[in-house]
Amino acid sequence: MEDEVVLLDFSLSMFGIRVRIALAEKGIKYEYREEDLVNTKSALLLQMNPVHKKIPVLIHNGKPICESLIIVEYIDEVWKDKAPLLPTDPYQRVQARFWADFVDNKVHEVAKKIWTGKVDELETEKKELIENLKQLEEFLGDKPYFGGDTFGFLDVAFIPFYKWFYAYETVGKLKLDYPKLIAWGKRCMQRESVSKFLSDEKEIYEFVLSYRKKIGVDQDTKSN
């Protein structure tokens, strides 16, 4: 019996893109259902993720799995025969999980404060984001991918944020100068599993501006 796989998602979601990349790497067929997060969340989303009421949610044979990194690990464990994402070495596995958590809490959460807040009041957050990305670049070093020679878990976790750099810079009025991260991002973009899901940076920027307008944040940033 073929697996029934459904993904509840939102096209611009960095977290949903993680799941889509993982499914593509594994060659898994699934039904994609776009959620309207701005107006009304579907009854199915509320039923399948009653705790957080957020996307993405992977529904595998009727059973929901929530939280993007947990979903990616689940995908890697269930469909283990193709394109392994987590390393087999225990230490390397925990390192990948550690830095993926770093992406969520030290990159995304800090950057979100910048693109949803009054930028001139967030100098501490801007410095923190710059420093945190520097640490990620140092961990990458001269490796092709974060895990070494092969595209893996941490690459999946971080690559959706690559196309947000433009919005971070433009809205935050800061400069992100990370040549190794940029080279890594371009390398990842050569993979079909990545390029077909990552959003256009200008589309992301316009989304950020519309969101800032919706929440009433004063800003004077303009498209270049």
Alpha-carbon distance of 84 to 54, in angstroms, equals: 27
Alpha-carbon distance of 181 to 177, in angstroms, equals: 9
Alpha-carbon distance of 104 to 163, in angstroms, equals: 16
Nearest to 181 by CA among 139, 131, 148: 139
Q: What is the mean pLDDT of each run of 10 residues along the chain (224 residues)?
A: 91 96 98 89 96 97 98 97 96 97 98 93 96 98 97 98 96 95 98 95 94 79 46
pLDDT value of position 218: 56
Q: Output the CA torsion 104→109→111→116 (10° steps).
A: 140
Alpha-carbon distance of 4 to 1, in angstroms, equals: 9
The amino acid at residue 167 is: A
Q: Are 14 and 164 in contact (CB under 8 A)?
A: yes
